[in-house]
Amino acid sequence: MILSISSRAEYDLPAQTFVLLQIEPALQGATHRVLEESLQTTPTPRTELWNDLYQNPQRRFMAPLGLFSFNFLARIECQPNAPLPLDAQELPPEQIPAECMIYTLPSRYCQSDRLTNMAMSEFGLMTPGGSRIATIANWINGRVTYQYGTSDAMTDAFDTATSREGVCRDFAHLLISFCRALGVPARYVSGYCLELEPPDFHAWVQVFLGDGNGGGAWHNVDATFNGLRPALVPIAFGRDAADVAMTTFFGQGNLHEQVVNVQKESD
Amino acid sequence: MILSISSRAEYDLPAQTFVLLQIEPALQGATHRVLEESLQTTPTPRTELWNDLYQNPQRRFMAPLGLFSFNFLARIECQPNAPLPLDAQELPPEQIPAECMIYTLPSRYCQSDRLTNMAMSEFGLMTPGGSRIATIANWINGRVTYQYGTSDAMTDAFDTATSREGVCRDFAHLLISFCRALGVPARYVSGYCLELEPPDFHAWVQVFLGDGNGGGAWHNVDATFNGLRPALVPIAFGRDAADVAMTTFFGQGNLHEQVVNVQKESD
Amino acid sequence: MILSISSRAEYDLPAQTFVLLQIEPALQGATHRVLEESLQTTPTPRTELWNDLYQNPQRRFMAPLGLFSFNFLARIECQPNAPLPLDAQELPPEQIPAECMIYTLPSRYCQSDRLTNMAMSEFGLMTPGGSRIATIANWINGRVTYQYGTSDAMTDAFDTATSREGVCRDFAHLLISFCRALGVPARYVSGYCLELEPPDFHAWVQVFLGDGNGGGAWHNVDATFNGLRPALVPIAFGRDAADVAMTTFFGQGNLHEQVVNVQKESD
Amino acid sequence: MILSISSRAEYDLPAQTFVLLQIEPALQGATHRVLEESLQTTPTPRTELWNDLYQNPQRRFMAPLGLFSFNFLARIECQPNAPLPLDAQELPPEQIPAECMIYTLPSRYCQSDRLTNMAMSEFGLMTPGGSRIATIANWINGRVTYQYGTSDAMTDAFDTATSREGVCRDFAHLLISFCRALGVPARYVSGYCLELEPPDFHAWVQVFLGDGNGGGAWHNVDATFNGLRPALVPIAFGRDAADVAMTTFFGQGNLHEQVVNVQKESD
């Protein structure tokens, strides 16, 4: 399908401020292709584009004092979001590609080491595979309450396991942690989502599962929703939210307004 | 039934040390009566007996440098431990006796405030009453692994909710926390237990439930065991383990040996 | 001096609600005497007055659905708040009165056990006594930022030791924890304070120190302020804030307005 | 100087086990060059060598059931360990190389975000630069007690900030966290250390500082020691200990014996 995507925001900067911006999808991903795009930053600082440790595109620039805004527009061709294949396989470590291994390790917000016993006591006896991962996502969806303002930038999966409240970021961190605790590579994805209410940036999870023929692939899983969002376009992958902030202001950046919009242009 | 109880321990004290000792049951409790008892502390310091904030008997004394031991012997008449009455009632706050209210508040090891959402998401939809409390105890028993050395004096219920391992003290703290989170007065009990393997001091929980006729009573619940220990004799009640330490050495107290023994003399 | 004190608040109750109210000072305290007082609760529920575990007066009543308010007025004779005597003594455990011992134990918000090493590494080499306690209060005052909204009802001293921000309650919890970690009995006090800006209820600390002649007394210490508030009238003592909530609504209690006022009538 | 390095260990594996091994330094580093090396794994599984996300060499192999050992020997030419240049500069974010930015972000064991206020209240007023970083290392060295068995694989910098005890790994995590909290890129290094008593693998920190001429470099800092270890050879760099485990057994690996030896052959 073809998606029309826009995101823009306006900030007040009390001083010249160095900024990192990570809102542009890679031009070509596993399930999407950017057809057209434009990024405008006003006033127009000279932005440097580079690929971070995980190969995500990231803008770096110095924004002058005063009003600062970015405005990103894109037309993107993408495949519909596919449900997690329930018969996909959890792979033994020797079959996990070496470069996926880092996604089995604990990270800032996903302390899978501290959640191992909980994962084992809740999910340890289930048959491994896509169906178990789907069950975990459902378990989280049914036991964690979605509520703005109940979590913040310090909240991690160890907290959410007990506090049972948060936003998409927290749902993702907890799902990632349980998956890693069971030995399944799981990574955090920030991106654009079709039919998100209210419209906003979104965060979800990808797990690496085997196809039963010696191969494997990353699959989307989203504990925030019961059903399937029809399309997801990744901006950046990382170990958790610490790695993929949409905006980083080295100094004060007072947000005035942020608007994200994702529309389906055609099937 | 008549129980024959003994507890003794030997310590090496590198200096004269102030000691608190809390191993003697009250002479008369709701379900027990001390028939005979003797406490020997060697060398023989002059011990002061007083009742703490919760009216538990406690010894206070200065033990000289060197080997120190206590030896407690008692014959105790007690009623058999009764199962939690499944039809007992969780009381609304206005029907909870004023003096029980403190056992609905969070405490050092039982952070019921931080466990409220978890208690609600796991047990909130169940019918209130003795049967719900029994279900919570079973839930803990099935999900927390009993293992010496997995917890320590710092471990609290918030930890155990996720770490899912510990000893009787941790099982008790988690059960207390869930009960308080649901508004049920719950207190920590240290004491003697018949048929504990290996023999040791024990810790369990009492909850205050209504009898349906305007009255109420404290009932034993023990998440450490699936079945019912045949007899429990309380030494001390408190908000959690912080309040009822068997021994407190203000200085170093190197334990050589501790032996607890509980035998049934007659029915 | 003579103080004129008032506190009132208005709530909206969406249902009949059981309420605990703890805003009245004891009629007679170590440093104050209530000359006149009146408490009006509207609509006028029949309130029960009792003394809690710590002998603090507490009201218990059922408030009907709708607007609920309390209005407390008092004239109180009190001694000026005295600075902590710097030459008062930290007592060895055997000289601490038995009933003060519970204030050396960790509690919900004052995990002195987890803060022992920090207390020892920061203050362990200082000469014990009132001067050390004053130094600790100054240390906290200089390193913790007073800021509404940076802490909440879950925040404990272990958090504040690192987060370094909070309100009077958090300053008190951290000071209590350090004192207990060093073996000094320390308790939490809620009460009325002269020259608090903006006027509000206040929380501070009392430590039990020796007078060098075999006696001892509780002394006020307040890490929230650099200087000395001129008068403090205690409402309730407890192990920490969990024990002395001004208002407890068993259900929803939406606060409309709260006003506290403390004036000096005469010296 | 020329170092002679050896490390070997023997394990009992109750089943065929997948293993990751990260004990070989890169052949060429900023301050060392491997002259000769040999790695023997017995029984001799076919090992795969690859470079991880941070470009550290890592072995991957399947070890059969039974006794398993590795034996690594190397002769390494390395520059003496240099003290942190006290006049080196902390760089503003726009001057930090893009690829160093990830080392300013919080990670599993280095929650710099949660330690920002503590870092600011203890070190915020000091003049930025190498001297401030050295002061922080000294602060940690003086306030944290080195003691085996006081920390474990779950211990993170937030814990150590208060618990004030640990091993080299914990000293490194706390130092990294304070540096990142102040905006200084800091990474975890595992490696070999000359004159470590008792001999073992070691962990320390590298910070990225500017040279005052538009350039910058990574410098060793080691809060575990007061003085300077004469030589440090890095095995692996990462965000914290989660990234650079010497051995990872996917299953049980019972260690029998481990011996590390580092000798100076010549200057």
- CATH code, domain with C19: 2.60.40.2250
- Whether residue D161 and residue C165 make contact (CB cut-off 8 A), yes or no, is no
Q: Is residue B21 part of a domain?
A: yes
CB B102 within 8 A of CB C52: yes
**Chain C nearest CA to D92, separation (Å):** 24
Is D246 an 8 Å CB contact of chain C?
no
Q: What's the domain range around C249?
A: 2-79+245-266
Is D153 an 8 Å CB contact of chain A?
yes
Q: Is residue B69 part of a domain?
A: yes
pLDDT of residue B91: 98
Q: Which residues of B touch A118 (CB under 8 A)?
A: 162-164
Handedness of CA A119, A121, A122, A128 (dihedral sign): positive
Closest residue in C to D161 (Cα–Cα): C162
- Whether residue D117 and residue C165 make contact (CB cut-off 8 A), yes or no, is yes
Mean pLDDT within D174-196: 98
- Whether residue D113 and residue A154 make contact (CB cut-off 8 A), yes or no, is yes
Interface test with B, best of C51, C104, C108, C247 (most B CBs within 10 A): C108
**Chain B nearest CA to A224, separation (Å):** 16
Is A118 an 8 Å CB contact of chain B?
yes
The half-sphere exposure of C246 on its side-chain side, counting CA atoms within 13 A, is 19
Is A143 an 8 Å CB contact of chain B?
yes
Closest residue in C to B154 (Cα–Cα): C114
Q: Is residue D84 part of a domain?
A: no
The beta-carbon neighbor of D243 closest among A99, A105, A113 is A105
Residues B174 and B225 in one domain: yes
Where residue D227 falls among pLDDT bands split at 50, 70, 90? confident
Domain count, chain D: 2
Is B62 an 8 Å CB contact of chain C?
yes
Label the pairing between strands A2-13 and A254-266: antiparallel
Is A62 an 8 Å CB contact of chain D?
yes
- ipTM comes to 0.96
Q: Is residue D236 part of a domain?
A: yes
pLDDT of residue A44: 86
Is B148 an 8 Å CB contact of chain C?
no
Q: Is residue A113 part of a domain?
A: yes
Residues A130 and A163 in one domain: yes
Tens-place pLDDT, residues A24-39: 999 999 999 999 999 9
Q: Is residue D86 part of a domain?
A: no
Label the pairing between strands A145-146 and D165-166: unpaired
Mean pLDDT of chain D: 97
Q: Which residues of D touch C163 (CB under 8 A)?
A: 114, 117-118
In the predicted model, residues of chain B with pLDDT beneath 50 are none
Neighbour subunits, A (≥3 Cβ pairs < 8 A): B, D
Label the pairing between strands A145-146 and A165-166: parallel
- Whether residue B161 and residue A161 make contact (CB cut-off 8 A), yes or no, is yes
Write the DSSP string, B49-71: EEE-TTS-EEEEEEEPSEEEEEE
Helix (H, G, I), strand (E, B) or coil at A196: coil
pLDDT of residue A226: 86
- Whether residue B117 and residue A161 make contact (CB cut-off 8 A), yes or no, is no
CB C160 within 8 A of CB C151: yes
- Whether residue D117 and residue C161 make contact (CB cut-off 8 A), yes or no, is no
Q: Which residues of C touch D162 (CB under 8 A)?
A: 114-115, 117-118, 158, 161-162
Q: Which CATH number goes with the domain that contains B199? A: 3.10.620.30
Residues B146 and B262 in one domain: no
Residues D183 and D119 in one domain: yes
Residues B103 and B62 in one domain: no
Question: A20-53 burial, b if ≥16 CB within 10 A, otherwise e?
Answer: bbbbbbbeebebbebeeeebebeeebebeeeebb
Q: Which residues of D touch A52 (CB under 8 A)?
A: 98, 101-102
Q: Which residues, including other chains, have CB under 8 Å from residue D172's CB and lie 6 or more apart?
A: D188, D189, D203, D204, D205, D222, D223, D224, D240, D241
Neighbour subunits, B (≥3 Cβ pairs < 8 A): A, C
pLDDT of residue B45: 87
Closest residue in B to A160 (Cα–Cα): B118
Is B55 an 8 Å CB contact of chain C?
no
B224 CB-contact burial (10 Å; exposed 0-12 / middle 13-18 / buried 19+)? buried
Chains A, D: CB contacts under 8 A, how many? 65
- Whether residue C250 and residue B99 make contact (CB cut-off 8 A), yes or no, is no
Residues D138 and D205 in one domain: yes
Residues C57 and C71 in one domain: yes
- Whether residue A106 and residue D105 make contact (CB cut-off 8 A), yes or no, is no
pLDDT of residue C226: 86
Q: In this model, does residue A152 exceed pLDDT 90?
A: yes
Q: Which residues of D touch C122 (CB under 8 A)?
A: 143
pLDDT of residue C44: 84
- Whether residue A102 and residue D52 make contact (CB cut-off 8 A), yes or no, is yes
Q: Which residues of A touch D98 (CB under 8 A)?
A: 48, 50, 52, 58, 60
Cα gap A45→D243, rounded to integer Å: 36
The beta-carbon neighbor of B242 closest among C50, C92, C105 is C105
Is B102 an 8 Å CB contact of chain C?
yes
Where residue A45 falls among pLDDT bands split at 50, 70, 90? confident
Mean pLDDT within D250-265: 95
The beta-carbon neighbor of D108 closest among A101, A108, A153 is A108
Q: Is residue C86 part of a domain?
A: no
- Whether residue B242 and residue C108 make contact (CB cut-off 8 A), yes or no, is no
pLDDT of residue A4: 98
Residues C100 and C202 in one domain: yes
Q: Where does chain C have alpha helices with state H?
A: 116-123, 130-143, 157-163, 168-181
- Whether residue B114 and residue A162 make contact (CB cut-off 8 A), yes or no, is yes
Write the DSSP string, D210-247: E-SSS-EEEEEE-TT-SS--S-EEEEEEESSGGG--SE
Q: Which residues of B touch C50 (CB under 8 A)?
A: 98
In the predicted model, residues of chain C with pLDDT beneath 70 are none
Label the pairing between strands B2-13 and B48-51: unpaired
Q: Is residue D192 part of a domain?
A: yes
**Chain D nearest CA to A183, separation (Å):** 9
Cα gap A234→A226, rounded to integer Å: 20
Mean pLDDT of chain C: 96
Helix (H, G, I), strand (E, B) or coil at C217: strand
Residues A103 and A183 in one domain: yes
pLDDT of residue D119: 98
Residues A35 and A97 in one domain: no
pLDDT of residue D221: 98
Where residue A7 falls among pLDDT bands split at 50, 70, 90? very high
| Vertex D13: Cα angle to D12 and D17 (nearest 5) | 150
- Whether residue D118 and residue C165 make contact (CB cut-off 8 A), yes or no, is no
Closest CA to A204 of A224, A231, A180: A224
Write the DSSP string, C53-78: TTS-EEEEEEEPSEEEEEEEEEEEEE
Is D17 an 8 Å CB contact of chain A?
no
Residues D32 and D119 in one domain: no
Interface test with C, best of B19, B90, B94 (most C CBs within 10 A): B94
- Whether residue C121 and residue D144 make contact (CB cut-off 8 A), yes or no, is yes
Tens-place pLDDT, residues A76-123: 999 999 999 999 999 999 999 999 999 999 999 999 999 999 999 999
Q: Which residues of B touch C52 (CB under 8 A)?
A: 98, 101-102
Closest residue in C to D123 (Cα–Cα): C143
Cα gap D22→D56, rounded to integer Å: 8
Residues D13 and D32 in one domain: yes
